[in-house]
Amino acid sequence: MKKIGIMTTGGDCSGLNTVIHRIVHGATLRGWRVIGIQDGTDGLCTTPPTIVKFDPNTLPIECARLAGSFLHNGRADALNFETAAKTGKLDKFNKKLKKSLSELKLDALVLIGGNGSLSLAWRNRDIYSDIQLICIPKTIDMDIPLTDKTIGFNTAVQQLTSFCDQLLMTARSHHRWFIVQTMGRDCGQLALNAGIAIGADAVLIPEIKFDINSLVNHIQNVERDYGIILVSEGISLRGHSGRPADMISRKLTSAGIVNRTAYPEHTQRAGDTTASDRILATRMADCALRAIDNNETYVMTAINDCKCETVSLADFFDSGYVTADPNIPDVQTSDAFVSPDDPLLNIATNMGIYIGEIK
């Protein structure tokens, strides 16, 4: 009988509980035992490791739609890759993780994480050398290479869309513009997709340079005197500091455009999981279980051309833009960004959305 573990790491998002539930359900049908590791790698640093034993009632099916992670994603003050690297304890930390996994006597570990977590798993792959490591990509940023979809993204787009829908009503009442700052880090997918969904008048993302005067001129020429401008948190404006939405707001105000800023913040990582994300979570859970059946290891589930298959972690890492991790010295992360030939960019332009200085 196989024994598998499940761990969620990094930022949370909707869909985590769905994929946990589906893995447990599918594994149980195979006659496997399943445990959950609480608080990500933090849970492996306790003695004994902090675990949850799953049975059919541990995570009821009606709770699988909820946001957040039943297993938690880690504590800010705990020893993790970031704090271990900063304090010179990374080797000790890695040995502790390997020892804990050995004590749990796992045959396989399903790690559900973002590009940082998956990059760390590959860069520190010796930790998992004695077990099968299957990774499942989740992030509202959609910045993971080699997969067209990530768990949590669709729900985040829906959450952001709903937030902006409500703002449009008060924007219309008061003849004002709202500059909404989105999450996404250095990737503009979340802002771009939500902007198309709501019919925003401008969408500013890190991947495309914009001219502030062109933006102002564009808004002044919109026939309405209200609307939404989406600003991804990763943009920059030369010569200005502060939150991106505040920077844009000051420029609009100086041009006589009445506006307010709005910050949906962590509501983008909340909300009942959409049907699309639930289906994706189920497909990726099934793919992960098949990978365990097939004795695969160091792989990631991925959706490409409507097929859900595994790709190697080595290919995942090498296929992205490898950059220095901002929080962990001497560690690199593989990132994906909005491609210059993304069809949504042309659609935005065709719909009269100011997207930046596209050549």
- CB of 245 closer than 8 Å to CB of 179: yes
CATH 3.40.50.460 domain range(s) in the chain: 156-269+340-350
Give the fold, CATH level 3, of 3-152+273-319.
Rossmann fold (3.40.50)
Which strand (E) or helix (H) includes residue 213?
Answer: helix 212-220
- What phi-psi label fits residue 8: left (phi over 0), alpha (psi between -120 and 50 degrees) or beta? beta
The residues annotated with a catalytic role in the active site are: 141
CATH 3.40.50.450 domain range(s) in the chain: 3-152+273-319
Tell me the residue type at 265.
Answer: E
Q: Which residue has the tokens 């948190």?
A: 233
Q: Which residue has the tokens 């979809």?
A: 149
- pLDDT per position as a tens digit, 217-238: 999 999 999 999 999 999 998 8
- CB of 101 closer than 8 Å to CB of 128: yes
Is the bond preceding 48 in cis, omega lying within 30 degrees of 0?
yes
CATH class of 156-269+340-350: alpha beta
Low-confidence ranges of the chain (pLDDT < 50): none
pLDDT of residue 178: 98
CA–CA dist 112, 277 (Å, integer): 14
CA–CA dist 38, 14 (Å, integer): 17
pLDDT of residue 359: 64
Closest among 86, 5, 85, 14 to 40, alpha carbons compared: 5
